[in-house]
Amino acid sequence: MLIQYTAYTLLCGFARGKDTVVAPATSGDEKFERAFRVQMNTLEQMAVTLPAMWVCAYFFSPLWAAGLGVVFMLGRLIYRQAYMKDPASRGPGMGIGFLANMAMIVLSLWGAIGQL
């Protein structure tokens, strides 16, 4: 997941340089703005995903946490491909990641309550 995020960061940086959006600007060329939003939206989602994975692995199952982490990553890949083509089509990728996060949170709660 961290490698995926780093790749998105690099792709955003390449888009900044290619389209000559000079730092600290975060607007300009539409392709750069899309790459920037993908990077930032992924970062925002990781603030939920990484702790949810850790808690899910601890209280429920490391295999379930890892599997749902992979589902999240696939969702982010679909999200990125869609967002770069047409931002309005990003919904399915976002939904996959969201459902993976919610599943990890529910399994975390289930596991934690079961240990009480």
64: CATH? 1.20.120.550
pLDDT tens readout for residues 1-37: 999 999 999 999 999 888 778 788 888 889 999 999 9
pLDDT tens readout for residues 58-92: 999 999 999 999 999 999 999 999 999 999 999 99
**What's CA 11's distance to the chain center, in Å?**
15
86 three-state secondary structure = coil
- Host domain of residue 71: 2-114
Query: CA nearest 115: which of 51, 54, 59, 58?
Result: 59
- How many domains does one find in the chain? 1
pTM: 0.92
